[in-house]
């Protein structure tokens, strides 16, 4: 069993729905780029960051963490039986980070200056660190994906018409690239893991500087650690989630052998995350804020509750054996981490002066949903064309 | 005039160990750069009558559209609480005076020009700079419009042009840097008819503020807002009412970027932690790889022909072993050897899945 293009038609009713959602998002995107952020978003001087930073960027980076956790497992710790999930996870991370970079371009006011951080540095800025790491990591992800492309075309280069004479050189070039990549790939894989560790945690440092504008339930100096742990924790559930959806959509047998093994590793990571999160609450004595039972309190309970339920589910062997339960438990982790990022960047941010509390506009939601839909479509197209998913 | 940011830039550019030493030095230097002679403004809210001439002068000085001066005498504007925005870098708000209802308190707001500004620390491209003279200014040529400065600012001062797509600006009081270069006072200070604004060295205006609050305890509460708030600000306020009630945020004495920068520099610490992590992961990879290879070797001894390929690709951590064989042989071999490798690698994945399907 090795990775091969999935033999399945691209269009299905679900795909049409996704395409419509993507188109809807693109329309609002066009408005944003023509008329400015205010025309589409509910952002203002009180709430400068909203859904696009909270979900598209922060949650996007977290949910793409499967790329580095699986690379660490499959290549660094070198467990070969996980190789079947490395490529799908890599593709998810690659598309996820591309989506994040795109979302950043959409959100920043001067999108045409996106390259500025490359030459204008501020080492004190957590955002600078996140930005640089994400840029480098994205490059690394594309390099890691290259062998899949060379594998697809090697020995099959067939250019049309007069370009035919270039078939031979093109093939040679591909082979050279492939063998060069083979020999150096370990450099990129380790770099990918290090870069991920860095920016996943620095993403947590981002909101620390907001000081008292952050709700005390989330404002803590251990935020970077919590962000890193939750990113690691959501990596495998995200791989499981996708793998099960892909199997269902392409009518393939779920890779339960691998997924169960992955699932059995989730509980310990979630345990460490919960221990740090709840332990920190004892130290900072934040429980009083929960007893207020206001929106932040409920949101905090929701995110923590989701993770606790998922933790309990993953503790049981039953969960890891059945695709249905595994899917449920994984979805809970994903929802918990998604809630956490939304909470950290949107719910916890309480402006000093704000007559109208922020809630994302229809346009903002459309763009976010549209981008996710587009992402799923691209993923589908890629696995149909390139050897990503391992199957019979 | 040197500015802090150039030093910070040097610090961040420091890559090697030698450069890292330089970084330490410049970090210390940046502390010193908070000049003893840095400037500030004292806002005496008990003297301000709310004429809003400062708002007019500010717009004029910054080439922003403004109604005629007469418009500013309209008192109804003061009825609603206002914040700086793209049309005004400074605004005056009115608050009730419990001691004398006929003399409401007026509070002018603008950038406080912090001594340890969160916006400067936060800015991804270093577009915000704390100058030696105390001012915090924004660089149009660098800003990417990410609005992290707005998230970071503890006074919620920077504003953004949400209504344009091209060339949106971050706007805030620039302490009239251009005017001062020409030897003029900041526009608001210059026009203030009641001398509610006192411009001078920060140390000097603090002395004046202390004098006034001490001499007239019946008028002023004993609190100079900005003297120590988040490490001190260039603009300081005195008032006859608790600053909370004047909608000035209650802030501690620690500089806003303190914790964030400590974490950031802890994670990086001259790239030692990332490099250590890289080395550690590399070692783990090498060890597990060798272990797997020797395990493979035992099983492959009878497969001597395909083994060569495996040891070749065995050094390649990325590909599932066996792919490289393609280079040497035809299509079928590729598939076969890939197939074999998988089975032979000792994890039985292939066999198991096959079993499942049968």
CB–CB of B65/B58 below 8 Å? no
Give every CB contact of residue A114 below 8 A, 6+ residues apart in sequence.
Answer: A104, A105, A108, B144
**Residue A118 to residues A114, A115, A130, Cα–Cα distance (Å):** 9, 6, 12
Predicted TM-score (pTM) of this structure? 0.84
At B188, list the tokens: 């608001």
CB pairs under 8 A between A and B: 269
Task: Report CA torsion sign: A164, A167, A169, A173.
Answer: positive
Give residue-wise pLDDT tens across range B241-280: 999 999 999 998 988 887 788 787 777 777 788 888 888 8
Find the residue in B nearest to A349 (Cα).
B151
Average pLDDT over residues B43-65: 94
Average pLDDT over residues B80-91: 94
- What local confidence, expressed as pLDDT, does residue A63 receive? 94
Give residue-wise pLDDT tens across range A266-319: 999 999 999 999 999 999 888 889 999 999 999 999 999 999 999 999 999 888
Q: Which candidate, A354, A300, A338, A297, places its Cα nearest to that of A43?
A: A354
CA angle B49, B54, B57 (to 5 degrees): 150
pLDDT confidence tier of residue B354, bands split at 50, 70 and 90: very low
Q: Which candidate, A309, A204, A222, A223, places its Cα nearest to that of A266?
A: A309
Asked if the model's pLDDT at residue B16 lies above 50, the reply is no
Helix, strand or coil for residue B165? Answer: coil
Q: Of A48, A113, A257, which has the smallest distance from its Cβ to B349's Cβ?
A: A257
Task: Report CA torsion sign: A254, A258, A263, A269.
Answer: negative
Contact B263 A1 (CB under 8 A): no
pLDDT confidence tier of residue A357, bands split at 50, 70 and 90: confident
Percent of all residues in chain A with a pLDDT value above 90, rounded to a whole number: 65
pLDDT confidence tier of residue B301, bands split at 50, 70 and 90: low
Domain boundaries, chain B: 34-255, 272-357
In angstroms, the CA B108 to CA A369 distance is 43
For B127, list phi and psi in degrees, rounded to 5.
-80, -15
In angstroms, the CA B51 to CA B76 distance is 12
Asked if the model's pLDDT at residue A44 lies above 80, the reply is yes
Asked if the model's pLDDT at residue B313 lies above 70, the reply is no
At B110, list the tokens: 């603008």
Average pLDDT over residues B195-217: 95
- What local confidence, expressed as pLDDT, does residue A337 receive? 96
Q: Of B81, B125, B160, which has the smallest distance from its Cβ to A122's Cβ?
A: B125
pLDDT confidence tier of residue A7, bands split at 50, 70 and 90: confident
More confident residue, A349 or B288: A349
- What local confidence, expressed as pLDDT, does residue B300 receive? 60
Q: Is B213 left (phi over 0), alpha (psi -120 to 50) or beta?
A: alpha
For A53, list phi and psi in degrees, rounded to 5.
-80, -45
Give residue-wise pLDDT tens across range A73-107: 888 877 777 888 888 999 999 999 999 999 999 99
Percent of all residues in chain B with a pLDDT value above 70, rounded to a whole number: 73
Asked if the model's pLDDT at residue B151 lies above 80, the reply is yes
CATH class of B34-255: alpha beta
CB neighbours of residue B183 within 10 Å = 6
- What local confidence, expressed as pLDDT, does residue B91 receive? 95
Asked if the model's pLDDT at residue B2 lies above 70, the reply is no
Q: Which of A284-293, B25-34, B188-197, B214-223 has the lowest mean pLDDT?
A: B25-34
- Put simply, whether A283 touches B (Cβ < 8 Å) is no
End-to-end CA distance of chain A: 6
**Residue B301 to residues B85, B307, B310, Cα–Cα distance (Å):** 76, 8, 12
- What local confidence, expressed as pLDDT, does residue B33 receive? 67
Residue numbers in A near B144 (CB within 8 A): 108-110, 113-114, 116-117
Contact B146 A127 (CB under 8 A): yes
Asked if the model's pLDDT at residue A382 lies above 60, the reply is yes
CB–CB of A332/A302 below 8 Å? no
- Put simply, whether A127 touches B (Cβ < 8 Å) is yes
CATH class of A51-79+86-362: mainly alpha
- Put simply, whether A253 touches B (Cβ < 8 Å) is yes
Contact B263 A221 (CB under 8 A): yes
Residue numbers in B near A72 (CB within 8 A): 281
Asked if the model's pLDDT at residue A392 lies above 90, the reply is no
At B311, list the tokens: 């040891």
Residue numbers in B near A203 (CB within 8 A): none
Q: Of B165, B274, B349, which has the smallest distance from its Cβ to A81's Cβ?
A: B349
Which A-chain residues 45-74 have CB contacts (< 8 A) with chain B?
45-46, 48-49, 72
Contact B347 A80 (CB under 8 A): yes
β-bridge pairing B39-44 and B197-201:
antiparallel
Asked if the model's pLDDT at residue B6 lies above 70, the reply is no
Chain mean position to CA A51: 15
In angstroms, the CA B321 to CA B344 distance is 10
Average pLDDT over residues B303-329: 42
Q: Of B148, B154, B292, which has the smallest distance from its Cβ to A127's Cβ?
A: B148
At B79, list the tokens: 């009825």
pLDDT confidence tier of residue B324, bands split at 50, 70 and 90: very low
DSSP calls for B75-140 = GGGGGS----BTTBS-EEEEE--SS-TTS-EEEEE----BSS-HHHHH-TT--EEEBTTS-EEE-T
Average pLDDT over residues B319-332: 40
CA angle A261, A271, B276 (to 5 degrees): 80
In angstroms, the CA B180 to CA B1 distance is 13
Nearest chain A CA: its distance from B53 CA (Å): 24
């Amino acid at each position: 069993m090795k990775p091969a293009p999935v033999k399945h038609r691209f269009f299905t009713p679900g795909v049409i729905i996704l395409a419509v959602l993507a188109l809807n998002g693109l329309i609002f995107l066009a408005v944003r780029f023509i008329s400015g952020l205010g025309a589409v978003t509910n952002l203002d001087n009180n709430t400068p960051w909203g859904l696009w930073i909270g979900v598209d960027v922060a949650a996007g980076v977290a949910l793409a963490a499967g790329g580095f956790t699986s690379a660490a497992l499959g290549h660094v710790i070198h467990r070969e039986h996980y190789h079947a999930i490395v490529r799908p996870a890599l593709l998810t991370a690659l598309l996820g980070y591309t989506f994040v970079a795109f979302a950043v371009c959409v959100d920043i006011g001067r999108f045409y200056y996106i390259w500025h951080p490359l030459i204008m540095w501020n080492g004190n800025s957590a955002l600078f660190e996140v930005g640089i790491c994400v840029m480098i990591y994205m490059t690394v992800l594309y390099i890691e994906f290259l062998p899949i492309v060379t594998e697809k075309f090697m020995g099959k280069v067939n250019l049309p018409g007069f370009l035919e004479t270039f078939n031979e050189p093109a093939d040679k070039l591909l082979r050279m690239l492939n063998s060069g990549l083979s020999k150096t790939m370990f450099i990129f894989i380790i770099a990918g893991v290090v870069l991920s560790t860095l920016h996943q945690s620095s993403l947590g440092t981002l909101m620390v500087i907001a000081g008292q504008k952050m709700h005390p339930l989330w404002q803590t100096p251990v935020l970077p650690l919590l962000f890193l742990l939750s990113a690691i924790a959501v990596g495998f559930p995200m791989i499981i989630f996708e793998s099960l959806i892909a199997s269902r959509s392409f009518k393939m047998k779920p890779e339960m052998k691998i997924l169960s093994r992955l699932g059995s590793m989730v509980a310990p990571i979630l345990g460490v995350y919960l221990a740090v999160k709840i332990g920190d609450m004892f130290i900072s004595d934040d429980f009083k804020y929960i007893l207020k039972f206001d929106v932040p309190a409920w949101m905090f309970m929701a995110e923590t509750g989701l993770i606790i339920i998922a933790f309990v589910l993953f503790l049981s062997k039953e969960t890891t054996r059945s695709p249905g339960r595994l899917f449920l438990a994984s979805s809970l982790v994903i929802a918990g981490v998604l809630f956490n990022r939304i909470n950290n960047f949107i719910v916890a941010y309480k402006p000093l002066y704000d007559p109208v509390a922020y809630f994302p506009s229809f346009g903002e939601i459309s763009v976010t949903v549209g981008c996710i839909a587009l992402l799923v479509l691209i993923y589908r197209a890629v696995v149909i064309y390139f050897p990503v998913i391992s199957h019979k | 005039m040197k500015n802090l940011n150039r030093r910070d830039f040097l610090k961040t550019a420091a890559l090697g160990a030698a450069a890292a030493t330089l970084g330490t030095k410049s970090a210390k230097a940046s502390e010193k750069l908070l000049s003893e002679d840095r400037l500030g403004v004292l806002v005496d809210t008990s003297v301000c009558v709310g004429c809003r001439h400062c708002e007019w002068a500010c717009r004029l000085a910054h080439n922003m559209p403004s109604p005629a001066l007469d418009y500013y005498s309209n008192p109804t504007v003061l009825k609603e609480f206002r914040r700086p925005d793209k049309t005004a870098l400074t605004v005056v708000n009115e608050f009730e005076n419990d001691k004398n209802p006929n003399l409401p308190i007026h509070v002018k707001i603008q950038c406080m020009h912090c001594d340890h500004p969160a916006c400067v620390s936060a800015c991804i491209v270093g577009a915000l700079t704390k100058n030696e003279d105390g001012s915090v200014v924004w660089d149009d040529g660098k800003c990417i419009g990410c609005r992290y400065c707005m998230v970071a600012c503890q006074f919620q001062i920077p504003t953004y042009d949400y209504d344009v797509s091209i060339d949106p600006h971050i706007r805030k009081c620039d302490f009239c840097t251009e005017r001062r270069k020409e030897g003029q006072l900041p526009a608001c200070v210059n026009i203030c008819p009641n001398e509610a604004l006192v411009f001078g060295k920060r140390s000097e205006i603090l002395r004046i503020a202390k004098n006034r609050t001490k001499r007239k305890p019946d008028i002023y509460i004993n609190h100079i807002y900005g003297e120590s708030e988040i490490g001190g600000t260039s603009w300081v306020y005195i008032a006859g009412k608790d600053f909370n009630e004047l909608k000035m945020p209650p802030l501690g004495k620690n500089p806003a970027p303190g914790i964030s920068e400590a974490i950031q520099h802890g994670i990086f610490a001259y790239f030692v932690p990332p490099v250590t992590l890289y080395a550690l992961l590399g070692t783990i990879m090498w060890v597990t790889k060798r272990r797997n290879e020797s395990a493979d070797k035992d099983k492959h001894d009878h497969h001597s022909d395909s083994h060569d390929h495996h040891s070749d690709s065995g050094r390649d951590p990325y590909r599932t072993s066996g792919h490289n064989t393609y280079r040497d042989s035809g299509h079928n071999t590729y598939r076969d050897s890939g197939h074999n490798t998988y089975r032979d690698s000792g994890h039985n994945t292939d066999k198991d899945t096959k079993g499942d399907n049968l």
